[in-house]
Structure 1
């Protein structure tokens, strides 16, 4: 029995390959909708800062399992593009507090609206809350597994 293969994954592919495929295709869709803003996965940093005003670079390192150097490069790029700003933390002058700029504040609601549109177009509905919760649980367990090492 021949198995259909699409974008390099097949029925027998690991579960994570399907999740990765979903993520990549959602990013392609978003890139088409935001042609003038090429942020790729870095938009998640803007969204995190938007949802967590005055957060720190260390918060992003922990959240996204990235090195401090990698996060610093991404933040510099987002700052240069005018989406976030860094201010010295008055309680610890060696750390920065991160916040979105007006440009970042305008992007996030529009990005979420278009993302919700993508979910609808691929068939993710409000009735999928149980599935979403289960995937969140798996993601959290995965973070915890790597956090201890």
Structure 2
């Protein structure tokens, strides 16, 4: 039931956010990337992909849309000419204000009827679960890499 409930919450969140920002033409994936960039300005595309556990192509597509809309800029990294650093433009910052308003409205409804203690417990528990699953996927990824290394070593013999 937990996964079903989480899935429902995420789907409703996506619909809510897209409706609230439809006048700006910014879809949910673009909103998520903008929120991440707001607190990680000047980060590269690979770091964004790693954070969201998405392939570089998906991130590149979303960044291209944001760039076409004038919401982000890509700057060549002076220390690594092959790498672009991503920054939010003033127009992107303006949308962040609208996203903040939408988030406040979402949270007011999301936590309706819950006490401050309930909210604190929810946040503590979901943070613990998020940390646990992150560790699990990292562990699985390391095991997969070890298996791939063993397979390569076997083939070279």
Partner in structure 2 of residue 7 of structure 1: none
1:69–1:126 Cα change, 3 Å: farther
- Tell me the alpha carbon deviations over residues 25-77 of structure 1, each in whole angstroms, 9 at most, x when there is no partner: 12212222222224123311111111111111111111100011111111111
Residues 1:64 and 2:52 aligned together? yes
Partner in structure 2 of residue 55 of structure 1: 43
CA distance in 2, matches of 1:52, 1:94: 20
CA distance in 2, matches of 1:78, 1:144: 31
CA distance in 2, matches of 1:108, 1:126: 28
Q: What's the CA shift for 1:102?
A: 0.9
Residues 1:29 and 2:16 aligned together? yes
Secondary structure, aligned partner of 1:94:
strand
TM-score, with structure 2 as normaliser: 0.78
Partner in structure 2 of residue 145 of structure 1: 136
Residues 1:136 and 2:127 aligned together? yes
Q: CA RMSD in A?
A: 1.7
Partner in structure 1 of residue 70 of structure 2: 82
Could you tell me which runs of 5 or more consecutive residues in structure 2 were left unpaired when the two chains were aligned: 142-157
Q: How many residue pairs end up in the alignment?
A: 136
Q: What's the CA shift for 1:126?
A: 7.2
CA distance in 1, matches of 2:101, 2:115: 15
Question: Within 5 Å, which residues of 2 pair with 1:115-134?
Answer: 115-124=103-112, 127=116, 128-134=119-125
Larger Rg: 2
CA distance in 1, matches of 2:132, 2:102: 28
Could you tell me which runs of 5 or more consecutive residues in structure 1 were left unpaired when the two chains were aligned: 1-13
Partner in structure 1 of residue 150 of structure 2: none
Runs of 4+ in 1 over 4 A off after TM superposition: none
